[in-house]
């Protein structure tokens, strides 16, 4: 009952036939009444559909779209999302995104806020990256003794060592790492990094409140008063690798090393026991000091893994910039050293200093007089002390911070 | 791994996400608005569609316009479905009202018809709906086949079927009302 040419009627109507096909169908229509009826019906239907859709659509066509406003909104959403990610410290993804902040800032007020924020952000990033770097340096270990049957956990870090990153290194890392949902990051084909849930955040406005909750509150520098303290009860960063895919990747990059298949989908983790942040204001509120104390991370790696092989392999991963890998490989006391990456950007100056008798690092933003940051490690804890003195010229921030640091010497 | 492959070969002047956004945003909003009839909701859905694009390896999508069109249709109907669930849950029962206040009887009738069209589209299957709306948006058979992932030879037949189904659903809607 159907005519072979009928199949083409819709395409004929929609002007989708080739010239030849069109001619052929037109000739056929002259003689086939069945197809004539079909065409008429299809035409009516098609016209009705256009009309029906058109009515509901006319409204939409008249709607004026404000693309600028829409783009601003999108930008804001993307920015919040990036920020949300930073909160979740995950493997090497906390890259400072405002590398050019200083160039684009206009007023002093903005610069100030931005700078402080940048340091905080970098610090978070440092924590996250340090975790990753710790893991990487864990892999650089020649041998670690087995303690538990399935896990060997095992050492506490009591030294820090700076690993220099350039902005190009950062961009390379950033390019390489894909963005995923916050809290869990798929590392392109290699595996997954995630943070255990249940991390609790506590904030106290006064020393009394914190002490009542059972926390020890670090002393305020002389002439400063506590302005809030927040304590995170620690979290664990986990990593699982797909060794098969990772090995393919390595091969693709011409690396002559491979992951031990025993590692496949096995969990590695770094636990940060606790981190504390306290703010202090000077009596006249012109200066502010921020203190962070982070317990040294603990590392857990599977027991039956050949760490010699692992070390070589991880250091050859393509996303690890060569000079960074080199620096990591050069760390001798790998068991007890935490590599802390910092960015050499030409706008901040870095200086190694002695803090309470141990190696520390002083960071100063060149364009920001009165701002400085000191980092050091003592008894397995990492300390970060930041001073924000609102553009006081000629203030020796380094000396001031060093004097504050004595408060926390044990 | 694809990420690495593309990383090494930076195109000379690749379009940024902003370029893509600015070029296609109006068409996405309008597409969603045709379906929802509510401008504020349409802007929300359009934003979501672009976030989806942002999360894709969007530089590798051949036909970004087509991708966006289909994603908009899909997102708009997802919104319609969730709104329905919400309104039945809230026991409000009422469909979202027309965006324009009916002033005359004629206006009101027209609005009724628009509602019926929207309802009929909602009742259609996903593929049929995409075919109809994309066709209306001016896409040719080849693009339709590509976007909805059907054989290009069967687009005509599928389209004819979708049109009939749409008309039947519409008539059933109108019949129910009167």
The answer to whether A178 contacts chain B (CB < 8 Å) is: yes
Show the 3-state SS of A354-397. Answer: EECCEEEEEEEECCCCCEEEEEEEECCEEEEEEEECCCCCCCCH
Q: Residue B29: which of A14, A48, A65 has the nearest Cβ? A: A65
Return the biggest CA–CA distance within chain A: 104
A46 pLDDT higher than 50: yes
B174 pLDDT higher than 70: yes
User: What is the per-residue pLDDT for B119?
Assistant: 83
ipTM of the complex: 0.71
User: What is the per-residue pLDDT for B69?
Assistant: 87
Instruction: Please answer yes or no on whether A63 and B29 come within 8 Å at the CB atom.
Output: yes
Sort out which chain A residues have CB atoms less than 8 A from B37's CB and list them.
56, 59-60
The answer to whether A79 contacts chain B (CB < 8 Å) is: no
A316 strand-pairing partners: none
Instruction: Please answer yes or no on whether A70 and B46 come within 8 Å at the CB atom.
Output: yes
Give the best residue of A63, A169, A185 to mutate against chain B (max B CB count within 10 A).
Answer: A63
Q: How many helices (H) and strands (E) does chain B have?
A: 8, 0
Instruction: Please answer yes or no on whether B21 and A74 come within 8 Å at the CB atom.
Output: yes
Mean pLDDT computed over every residue of chain A: 66
Name the minimum distance, in Å, from the CA of A208 to any CA of chain B: 45
Range of A185-199, A328-342, A380-394, B144-158 with top mean pLDDT: B144-158
Sort out which chain B residues have CB atoms less than 8 A from A93's CB and list them.
none
d(CA A155, CA A66): 57
Sort out which chain A residues have CB atoms less than 8 A from B136's CB and list them.
49-50, 53-54, 57
Instruction: Please answer yes or no on whether B54 and A53 come within 8 Å at the CB atom.
Output: no
Name the minimum distance, in Å, from the CA of A311 to any CA of chain B: 22
CA atoms within 13 A on the CB side of B75: 25
A149 pLDDT higher than 50: no
Across the range A179-186, mean pLDDT stands at 40
Sort out which chain A residues have CB atoms less than 8 A from B132's CB and list them.
49, 53
Task: For A195-204, write each residue's pLDDT tens digit.
Answer: 665 456 678 8
A159-166 and A337-344 strand pairing:
parallel
Task: For A90-116, write each residue's pLDDT tens digit.
Answer: 333 222 222 222 222 223 333 333 333
CA atoms within 13 A on the CB side of B9: 5
């Amino acid at each position: 009952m159907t005519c072979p040419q009928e199949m083409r009627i819709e395409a004929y109507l929609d002007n989708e036939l080739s010239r030849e096909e069109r001619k052929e169908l037109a000739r056929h229509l002259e003689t086939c009444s069945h197809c004539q009826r079909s065409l008429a019906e299809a035409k009516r239907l098609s016209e009705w559909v256009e009309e029906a859709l058109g009515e509901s659509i006319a409204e939409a066509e008249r709607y004026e779209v404000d693309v600028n406003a829409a783009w601003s909104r999108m930008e804001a959403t993307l920015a919040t999302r990036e920020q949300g990610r930073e909160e979740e410290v995950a493997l090497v993804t906390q890259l400072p995104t405002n590398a050019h902040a200083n160039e684009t800032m206009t007023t002093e007020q903005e610069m100030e806020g931005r700078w402080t924020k940048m340091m905080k952000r970098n610090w978070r990033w440092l924590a996250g990256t340090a975790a990753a770097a710790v893991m990487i340096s864990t892999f650089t270990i020649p041998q670690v003794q087995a303690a538990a049957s399935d896990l060997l956990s095992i050492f506490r870090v009591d030294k820090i060592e700076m690993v220099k990153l350039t902005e190009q290194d950062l961009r390379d890392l950033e390019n390489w790492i894909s963005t995923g949902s916050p809290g869990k990051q798929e590392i392109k084909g290699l595996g997954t990094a995630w943070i255990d849930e249940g991390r609790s955040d506590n904030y106290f406005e006064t020393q009394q409140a914190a002490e009542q909750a059972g926390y020890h509150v670090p002393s305020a520098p002389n002439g400063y008063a506590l302005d809030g303290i927040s304590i995170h009860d620690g979290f664990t960063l986990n990593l699982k690798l797909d060794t098969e895919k990772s090995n393919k990747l390595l091969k693709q990059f011409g690396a002559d090393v491979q992951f031990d298949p025993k590692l496949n989908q096995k969990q590695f983790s770094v636990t940060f026991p606790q981190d504390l942040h306290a703010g202090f204001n000077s009596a006249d509120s012109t200066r502010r000091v921020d203190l962070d104390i982070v317990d040294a991370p603990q590392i857990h790696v599977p027991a039956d893994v050949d760490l010699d092989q692992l070390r070589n392999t991880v250091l050859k991963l393509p996303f690890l910039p060569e000079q960074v890998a080199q620096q990591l490989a050069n760390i001798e006391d790998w068991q007890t050293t935490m590599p802390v990456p910092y960015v050499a950007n030409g706008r901040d100056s870095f200086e190694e200093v002695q803090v309470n008798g141990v190696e520390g690092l002083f960071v100063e933003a060149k364009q920001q007089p009165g701002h400085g940051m000191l980092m050091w490690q003592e008894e397995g804890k990492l300390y970060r002390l930041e001073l924000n003195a609102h553009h006081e010229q000629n203030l020796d921030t380094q000396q001031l911070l060093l004097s504050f640091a004595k408060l926390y010497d044990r | 791994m694809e990420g690495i492959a593309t990383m090494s070969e930076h195109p000379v002047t690749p379009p940024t996400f902003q370029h893509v956004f600015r070029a296609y945003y109006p068409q996405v909003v309008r597409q969603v608005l045709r379906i929802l009839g509510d401008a504020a909701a349409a802007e929300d859905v359009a934003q979501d569609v672009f976030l989806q694009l942002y999360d894709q390896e969007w530089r590798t999508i051949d036909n970004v316009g087509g991708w966006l069109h289909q994603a908009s249709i899909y997102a708009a109907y997802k919104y319609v479905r969730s709104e329905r669930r919400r309104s039945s849950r809230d026991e409000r029962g009422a469909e979202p009202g027309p965006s324009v206040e009916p002033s005359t009887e004629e206006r009101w009738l027209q609005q009724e018809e628009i509602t019926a069209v929207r309802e009929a589209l909602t009742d259609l299957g996903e593929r049929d709906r995409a075919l109809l709306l994309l066709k209306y948006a001016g896409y040719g058979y080849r693009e339709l086949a590509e976007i909805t992932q059907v054989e290009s030879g069967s687009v005509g037949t599928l389209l004819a079927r979708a049109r009939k189904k749409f008309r039947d659903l519409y008539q059933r809607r109108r019949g129910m009302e009167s």
